[in-house]
Amino acid sequence: MNSMKLCLLQNFSNYVLFVIVFMGSGVLYLFVDPHQRGFFCNDDAIKYPFKISTISIPVLYTIAAILPIIAMCLGETIHTLSIIKERETVGSMKSSRSRLICEQISHLCVTFLFGLDVTQFTSDIMKYSVGRLRPHFLDVCKPMDYNCTGNYVDVFKCGAVSDSGIKQARLSFPSGHAAMSMYGMVYLVLYIQQRLHIPTVWLIKPFIQVLCLYLTLYCGLTRIFDYWHHPTDVLTGFILGLLVALIMVTQVNNFFAVQEILPASDRERRASSVKII
């Protein structure tokens, strides 16, 4: 138990950074208004009816965060135990099993969650800066007191009483659902590529990976046929999630580099012995 507490304390600063980025989206939602964009009277793209989302927020976080974390925790536990067993056979591993597993899982999860936060925060910054109207904007806003003589309307009032609903109706670009689901599933696909090895059933890896990508594709498509996003919103969200996942995997966690499992004390000792010439 003490080793696990020590592991969590060593990663405290990383968790603080994770919380700071997470709070950024909350600050935007509570204190910032999106860009006030007008509309064209003949714009059919914003005349769709309002529909309840097929993929709710809890379901989105299950797809983008909970499923990948559960899978990676199981994968790291099995992987670390196999390494420990191999090292113990030759007498080169003396550290606590629980501590090593905790270090591996903690490092992987906090990095994954930090990338998910970056994806969401970046998406929110773009949403509030652009202020693109959702396909169901007119149905939610119910604009009144406006003149269509010049075709483009930038002075109007919303007849709807829900301020939060009107605010949400101005946050179409890009799709946060598409960005976050793409990030979570691409991260998981690349993790599976590195960790899952079943020689006797070699198609199981691509089968699971394709299912992950189908899941994020469906999540994005629902945003279009539920009239919450335009197709370009979803496409941009996919690209954003993909880019952040690739950066986190290749530059931060570096899945595809040769990794060595060592206790934190051994890594610190090795790092302190490196001399810069």
Active site residue 229: yes
Q: Rounded to whole angstroms, how far apart are CA atoms 199 and 252? A: 29
Residues with Cβ within 8 Å of 277's Cβ and at least 6 positions away in sequence, in order, are none
Cα separation of the two ends of the chain = 41
Euclidean distance between CA atoms 235 and 168, whole angstroms: 19
Both tokens assigned to 67: 């499923």
Q: One of 79, 136, 229, 230 is an active-site residue; which one?
A: 229
Instruction: Give catalytic status of residue 136 as yes or no.
Output: no
Catalytic residue among 136, 177, 197, 230: 177
CA distance 64 to 151: 41
Cite the active site residues.
177, 229
